[in-house]
Amino acid sequence: MGHRGTFLIALLGLGLLAGCAGAPPPAVPRSAPDDLQATAAWENYRQSAVATQTIAAQEAAAIAHALMATDTAATATTSAQSTHASQAATATTQAGYATATHQASIATATAQAAYATATHNANVTTATAVALATHDSIQATGTAQSAQATATSQAAAAQREAMLLERERRLQPLKTYGPWFIGITLLILLAGLSGWALVTAMKAWDARQRVIANGPFGRPLVLIDGKNGRRTILDPSRLFGPVVTVDGDGVTMPQLTASELQNQTTARSQAVELRQAAHPPFPVVLPAPRRQPAPAHSTPPAPQLVEPELQLPADAPWSILHHQWQGHGLPLGMGANGLLVADPEAYPHLLMAGTSGSGKTRFGLRPLITSALASGWQVAIYDRSGLDFLPFQQHPNAHAVLLEDPSHAIDHLALLYEVIQGRFVTLREAGVSTWGRLPSAGPSAPPPAPRILAVMDEFANLADALPTNERRELWRGARMIAAEGRKAGVHLALALQDPTHKSLDLRIRRNCLPLSFRVKDGDASRVILGAGGAEQLPPRQFLTVMDQLLRGVAFAPSDDEIRNFLAARPVAPYPAPSWLEADVVPATASHQQQDEIEQQIRALLGQGWSLRAVQRELFGYTGGAAYEAVKAVRAQMEASTGGDTGGDTAI
């Protein structure tokens, strides 16, 4: 046991002694009450406990003090030992460092010497390896180049050999069959030449041996051979005598007629032969072709001009209408077989073409209007000049409309189409399909509504004067009337100059009878007729297609002849049609009406209506003045609202 244990035991003994020497407990008589004795006993016990705790605390403090002293001593001892050990270790370390430094210097010198040796050896080795590699590379390169040259030479030789083999293969059929082909060809040529020579020789021999041969047009000739290859040819048609004497090379015949008469006969015969050479003497007469319906989606063949059996008359006299025309159909002119008449049921509309000065107005439209008025029709003449139709001004059923503004033609066509729709109602009520089948009125009843002929001269120029959208509207209106007007008894006659595929709506041509005076070129002729020839027509002649291409001569009546003809054929007058009296130009309305119309246009455009819908709603038609009025209001609205009117731009 060390000093620390001895010290603790001593402290414990001192504590026990101090406890035993404490104050004595208070004495309580035994005769004291039990509670007093219990209290005294409890007090003694408490004092003993307090004393015991005090001693224990003192002992603990003493033990702690002793432990602290012991720790201090131990720390001092340890510190001294550590200091001594550290000094010894430092001295040892310094000695070891010096030794290690000396050894490191020796090792460094040794390593530097070894490195120098290794570097020298490495340089020598590298130089040797580079030399060996260069030598090997040179040898390998030479070997590779030699091998490549050998391979190239072998490939070229192989390719040359392949080309020779391919050439041999291709030439093999020629070498095999070429001689046969050449031989057979030569044999065929030789056989053909031999046959031709044989036939020629036979014909020559036959000609030499024949006495009777066939002349021009199968006429027999007498062949008499003489000396030195001399041959005498006799024409029996010019032999007046029954006896011919052949004496050597001479041929004589008794003279039965005068020489001049014989010469006249010979000249006449030669003239006949020349005529026959130009025209075959026995032409084949083919029956007239029948009109067959063209298959759907097929282009009809171009009509061929049928040569007339009789020569065309040089002139078509106007007086012939008094004798040959009975009021049925519309006469167009004189053909090779008589009067050319267009039946309105078969050919309801007329499309007439001709260059300026060809006579399409004077020789075409004027006689057509005259015959229509004489048949009791109503005629509406739309013209931009009003100068070519003056003879019809006094007729009650002729109505001239001056088209100062080309766009007004669109309005008139629209109104005319409304007449067609109204007449369809009349046909349905009468129970018939066409206007020509309407029942005739009685003697006391008013006459039925007549047929209508709408004439528009210079129609292509009228269309060209309009902008693109209105030009389309004009052709559309004419196309609709041409498609539906026949049933309602409404007919069109359109005249235009030198049509082209761009200026003419070809859909109208299908529903019209084409008639052409002289045009500029063959293209214009083919556009209007489907065939050429109209470019070569003389004045007043025309071509038309009525089941076949026909040539005719037009009438050329003067103004007085037209007036006299109409006066000689009076017809019942009809009231002026309401569709001609209607004002189709909105600009003629009063200012108040114009303001109301403008307000209505603004309201409809503001609701999103299209231009076309507004025109239909307010004016009953589209295009022309109606389009201009709506367009002007729309432009004002765009200017005031910055380009947004709320509607679309459809026309």
Q: What is the pTM of this model?
A: 0.48
What ranges in 210-240 are assigned the alpha helix state H? none
**What tokens were used for 254?**
């008794």
Q: What are the pLDDT digits (tens) for 488-512? A: 999 999 998 888 877 787 788 888 9
Q: What are the pLDDT digits (tens) for 22-67? A: 445 555 566 666 767 777 777 777 777 787 778 878 877 777 777 7
Contact between residue 361 and residue 388 where contact means Cβ atoms under 8 Å apart: yes
Best CA proximity match to 221, nearest among 231, 210, 230, 213: 213
Best CA proximity match to 379, nearest among 317, 301, 456: 456
Give the whole-angstrom CA distance, residue 175 versus residue 380. 87
Cα–Cα distances in angstroms (integers) from residue 300 to residues 185, 252, 282, 508, 550, in the given order = 47, 65, 31, 16, 17
Q: What percent of the chain has pLDDT over 90?
A: 17
pLDDT reported for residue 277:
59
Using the Cα atoms of residue 252, residue 255, residue 260 and residue 262 in order, give the sign of their dihedral. negative
List the single range of 198-212, 354-368, 552-566 with lowest mean pLDDT: 198-212
pLDDT reported for residue 490:
94
Contact between residue 48 and residue 56 where contact means Cβ atoms under 8 Å apart: no
Beta-carbon contacts of 624 under 8 Å, excluding residues fewer than 6 positions away, are 405, 407, 408, 409, 410, 411, 414, 470, 473, 584
pLDDT at 274 over 70: no
Task: Check residue 489 and give left, alpha or beta (phi > 0: left; psi -120 to 50: alpha).
Answer: left
CATH architecture of 320-438+448-576: 3-Layer(aba) Sandwich (3.40)
pLDDT reported for residue 149:
87
pLDDT reported for residue 243:
56
Give the whole-angstrom CA distance, residue 2 versus residue 568. 179
Contact between residue 498 and residue 458 where contact means Cβ atoms under 8 Å apart: no
| Residue entry with tokens 């007085």 | 560
Residue 410 or residue 286, greater confidence = 410
List the single range of 10-24, 49-63, 328-342, 376-390 with lowest mean pLDDT: 10-24
List the single range of 167-176, 262-271, 461-470, 568-577 with lowest mean pLDDT: 262-271
List the single range of 67-71, 135-139, 621-625 with lowest mean pLDDT: 621-625
**What tokens were used for 209?**
């041996």
Cα–Cα distances in angstroms (integers) from residue 225 to residues 229, 247, 252, in the given order = 7, 12, 15
Contact between residue 367 and residue 555 where contact means Cβ atoms under 8 Å apart: yes
pLDDT reported for residue 592:
62
Contact between residue 413 and residue 474 where contact means Cβ atoms under 8 Å apart: yes
Query: Which phi and psi angles does 310 have, rounded to 5°?
Result: -115, 155
